[in-house]
Amino acid sequence: MASELDIHGNSCSTSTPSTALEPSLKPFPVLIIMMALWLFLYFLRDEPLAIFNRTIDDRVVLVVLGVSTFVFLLLTDATSNILVSVMIGAVVVLVHASLRRTDDLYDEESTGLVSGPSSSS
C-alpha cells in the first residue's frame, strides 16, 4: 500500500478518508428515532407535555424537535443530500410565491355562496 507525504513530510493515506473529526451516524436509525420522538412528543399527544410538574408549550416542543431533527440529520452520511434537497425545495417555494397570482382566486364570500350567521331566528 503506497502512502503519500504531505507538505510537512508526514505520511498520509489517500485510500480511506479520515472521519475522526466528523462523527457519522447511520441515517436509518436516526430516522426511526426522530420519527418516534415526533409521534410521541408532538403528533399523538392529547394533553400538554408535563416535565417535573411543569407544562411545556407546544411551540417549545416544536422548536426543540425541529432543531434536533436538523442537527441529527446533518450528523448522518446524508448531509449533502439533505442540504441539496432543502435548497431545491426553497427555490421551488420562492418561484411559486413569486409567480402566483391572486387575481383569479375563487372567493366564496363575494359570490354569496357562503351564508354567514343570520340574525333571523
For residues 82-88, average pLDDT:
90
Is there a domain that residue 63 lies in?
A: yes
For 14, residues 6+ apart whose C-beta sits below 8 A from its C-beta are 3, 4
Mean pLDDT over the full length of the chain: 79
The number of distinct structural domains making up the chain is: 1
Q: For the whole model, what pTM was predicted?
A: 0.55
Question: H helices of the chain, where?
Answer: 27-38, 58-74, 79-99, 108-111
Is there a domain that residue 66 lies in?
A: yes
Is there a domain that residue 72 lies in?
A: yes
Q: CA nearest 29: which of 67, 85, 84, 77?
A: 77
Sign of the CA dihedral running 101, 105, 109, 111: positive
Is there a domain that residue 36 lies in?
A: yes
Using one digit for the tens of pLDDT, what is the confidence trace for 12-26? 655 555 555 556 778
Is the predicted pLDDT of residue 69 greater than 70, yes or no?
A: yes
Is there a domain that residue 11 lies in?
A: no
Task: Return d(Cα 76, Cα 73) in angstroms, integer.
Answer: 5
Range of the domain at 44: 24-100
